[in-house]
Amino acid sequence: MKIKAHYKASSLSNAIFLCLIISIVCGSLVLISHYQNVLNDKLEMSNHLISRNDSAFNHYMNNLETLAFNEETSLDVFDDGIYSFAEKKNWGFYDILIIKTIFKNDTISKIALVGEKKNDNDNDNLVLYATDYDKPLKLSGKTTIYGNQKVPNGKTEQAYINNQIGNDVVIRGKQRKSEDRLPKIDKTINMNIGNYEVVSIGSIEEEVFINGFEKETKVVDLNGVANLGDVTYKGNLILTSKSPIEIEATAILNDVLLIAPKVTIDSGFMGNIQIMAKEEVVVNEKAMLMYPSSIYVKNDIDSVSVNIKKGSKLAGGIVIDGNTYQGALRRKLTIGKEATVIGDVYCYGNTQVEGEIIGSIHSDRFFLKTKSSSYENVILNAIINRDSLPKDFVGLPLFENKGNKKEYVSIKTF
């Protein structure tokens, strides 16, 4: 009898244990199913917000001119109470567009560097413009020009430098007569940094300083620093100095602006930077300024010099500008042998081209300086080729778009 009772107690405990296991398994399956449904709902809502945010982004890209700078505006894309918020910031030659869509605790954002597409403006479709001062533009050596041109008297001539026997000049495109002044550019670069937070370089403890474009712009004060190296600065940063600054090859700079009177880029440097100088920019041999980089100098008082040295590359563009003809006589751009500029070059001054321009150049006049002599309005051994520029390349917004709505495209997203 005792054995039988023990058997019944054991069976009961086994049954209870089995029921407990089944309950746990069933509960787990129900819980997994619940969280799977929650996860699916969250994923569906996330995809919905991404789609809505993309729709808002496309809407504001098509109406970018209506957006004021540094002011947030909102849009209910589908009139269902879910809003997308937009903000536009100026960033050198380009704009930053920030779109955020918020629902409860979820936020989807898209941040893009935005540029203006080329239009049918005549000046935007030229490979070469040289102002007509009643002096012909002469081509010499192995010079190649692909694209339509506006030159003095509507035609170019050939020159023979240093008693050379013959030239190998190749021209493809129409030549028309230029005007007696360089076309005025429509773009003004804003260099007012008074409203931004200033950070002393001495207060930056880490060698890596990254500031996203969704955050407030920060100004890094480089005063007292002659050489900038062994640092990484990325994003929404404006580097400023009141004295000349040299950027060493060990510096990693991406998407930043640099404002200084004189800027020197060391050999071997590789980065993405928009430079705004007052007097001088030197890009030393085999330095690489990746797209979208640019150099901007506007000055009527001091002498101006921009020198892109042998074997260096710049993708984006160069603008040397001013308001007076007398000032133009003191502005000089040199693109050295084997140097390459991809994009738009505008020089209200004197330009010497011995390297390659993949894009276009507008220059008030050209010059050539050799070891033995100097020549006016001469181009020697240069390649200026608009046809090789990629069709989707977004250049600098230089000239006024008359009568047509401006079109904008995303250059890169952050």
Domain end (from 116, 146, 168): 116
How far apart are the C-alpha atoms of 355 and 96, rounded to whole Å?
32
Q: Is residue 352 part of a domain?
A: yes
Q: What is the pLDDT of residues 149-193, one digit of tens each?
A: 999 999 999 998 877 778 899 999 999 999 999 999 988 787 788
Q: Let me know whether 174 and 87 are in one domain.
A: no
The total number of structural domains that make up the chain: 2
Mean pLDDT for all residues in the chain: 91
HEC readout, 266-313: CCCCEEEEEEEEEEEEEECCCCEEEEEEEEEEECCCCCEEEEECCCCE
Q: Let me know whether 133 and 94 are in one domain.
A: no
Q: Let me know whether 111 and 126 are in one domain.
A: no
Domain end (from 68, 96, 116): 116
Q: Do the beta carbons of residue 238 and residue 222 sit within 8 Å?
A: no
How far apart are the C-alpha atoms of 237 and 325, rounded to whole Å?
34
Apex CA 173: angle with CA 170 and CA 177, to 5°? Answer: 105
Q: Is residue 77 part of a domain?
A: yes
Q: Let me know whether 183 and 300 are in one domain.
A: yes
pLDDT at 392: 87
How far apart are the C-alpha atoms of 45 and 361, rounded to whole Å?
49
Alpha-carbon separation of residue 207 from 99, 353, 362 (angstroms) = 30, 38, 40
Q: Is residue 103 part of a domain?
A: yes
Q: Let me know whether 152 and 109 are in one domain.
A: no
Domain of residue 343, residue span = 122-398
Q: Let me know whether 367 and 238 are in one domain.
A: yes
Q: Let me know whether 174 and 99 are in one domain.
A: no
Model confidence, pTM:
0.89
How far apart are the C-alpha atoms of 99 and 108, rounded to whole Å?
8
Q: Is residue 409 part of a domain?
A: no
Q: Let me know whether 126 and 77 are in one domain.
A: no
pLDDT at 79: 86
- Omega within 30 of 0 (cis) for the link into 152: no
Q: Let me know whether 36 and 165 are in one domain.
A: no
pLDDT (tens, 9 = 90+) of the chain, 414 residues, equals: 444 445 556 677 777 778 888 888 888 888 877 677 666 656 666 788 899 999 999 999 999 989 999 999 999 988 888 899 999 999 999 999 999 999 888 899 999 999 998 776 777 789 999 999 999 999 999 999 999 999 999 999 999 887 777 889 999 999 999 999 999 998 878 778 888 999 999 888 888 999 999 999 999 999 889 999 999 999 999 999 999 999 999 999 999 999 999 999 999 999 999 999 999 999 999 999 999 999 999 999 889 999 999 999 999 999 999 999 999 999 999 999 999 999 999 999 999 999 999 999 999 999 999 888 899 999 999 999 999 999 889 999 898 877 677 889 999 999
How far apart are the C-alpha atoms of 72 and 88, rounded to whole Å?
8
Q: What is the pLDDT of residues 95-115, one digit of tens each?
A: 999 999 998 888 999 999 999
Query: What is the Cα 196 distance to its own chain's centre?
Result: 21
User: SS3 of 364, please?
Assistant: strand
Q: Let me know whether 293 and 355 are in one domain.
A: yes
Q: Let me know whether 157 and 277 are in one domain.
A: yes
Q: Is residue 217 part of a domain?
A: yes
pLDDT at 9: 60
Given CA atoms 174, 177, 180, 186 in this order, what sign does their dihedral have?
A: negative
Q: Is residue 412 part of a domain?
A: no
Contacts with 408 (C-beta within 8 Å, 6 or more apart), sequence order:
61, 64, 95, 114, 115, 116, 117
Domain end (from 116, 132, 158): 116
Q: Is residue 407 part of a domain?
A: no
Q: Is residue 414 part of a domain?
A: no
Burial classification of residue 61, based on how many CB atoms lie within 10 Å of its CB (0-12 exposed, 13-18 middle, 19 or more buried):
middle
pLDDT at 40: 61
User: SS3 of 35, please?
Assistant: helix
Q: Let me know whether 156 and 285 are in one domain.
A: yes
How far apart are the C-alpha atoms of 362 and 74, rounded to whole Å?
40
pLDDT at 1: 43
